[in-house]
Amino acid sequence: MFRGDRLEELLIALGLSQSELARRVGVSQTVIYKLVSGQSQGSKYIHRIASELGTSAEYLMGETDDSAPHGGVPTPPSATSKAAVKGVGEASDLVELHEFDVSFGLGLSFIHDVPVTGKKRVFSRAWVRQFTESPMEYLFFATGSGDSMMPTILDSDVVLIDSYDRTPRFADKLWAIEIGGMGSIKRLRPTKDGSGMILISSNPEVPDDVAYDGEMQIIGRVAGIFRKT
């Protein structure tokens, strides 16, 4: 049976709208909406949908709890050869992104006194543009740790953080935040009275928390999640 909840989680994790996924797959948004809402229990486009989301048809159909396609979602394809690095300034399709030596806790981890520099990796600009249109200098990679965001993000998954986008406009997207001197990745949802922000974990065993004005700083939006093979 098709798992609409899993499709919705992947859309949120990748920052994709139903209409954008529909455009990529070549179907109407209604097809995606019916899958998410449970009105449809399958589609002949299931394999194409899974490919666009970096997962497997078996995961979306509830036949496996492993979201990786055929055993593993590769980490971002980077070009690290001398020739590639040399060509960054010469070829418009190559860009350098920082990979900071810091783990954003999927629960909470201290981030103060962490070196602000990290190693750089070279990627295809077109590949990065699948996840965000923000200026490249605002993007960086970090490694998650902990289990409070499972199964959306697993321990040691690599996340692409877009620090250009710091204003939550839609509830339940994933955000890298700093609260009380600690780093975290959570879904954010405004409280009903607008006085604070609810910090939501994917793991049902981890209770929600609330941050009020001045308690939390948004570092950036999680634009992509990548699993090591």
- Which one-letter DSSP state was computed for residue 14? H
CA atoms within 13 A on the CB side of 225: 34
pLDDT of res. 2:
86
In angstroms, the CA 64 to CA 46 distance is 15
Which phi and psi (to 5°) does residue 180 adopt? 60, 35
pLDDT of res. 170:
65
Where is pLDDT greater, at 110 or 126?
126
* 3-state SS class at 89: helix
Q: What is the pLDDT of residues 34-86, one digit of tens each?
A: 999 888 887 788 888 888 888 888 888 888 877 665 444 445 555 444 444 44
CA proximity to 144, closest of 130, 154, 129 = 154
Contact indicator for 126, 95 with CB cutoff of 8 Å:
no
pLDDT band at 199 (very low <50, low <70, confident <90, very high): very high
Which domains, ranges and CATH numbers included, belong to the chain? 4-70 (1.10.260.40), 82-226 (2.10.109.10)
pTM: predicted TM-score of the whole model, two decimal places:
0.59
pLDDT band at 101 (very low <50, low <70, confident <90, very high): low
Task: Give the type of residue at 195.
Answer: S
The mean per-residue pLDDT over the stretch 162-189 comes to: 83
pLDDT of res. 109:
59
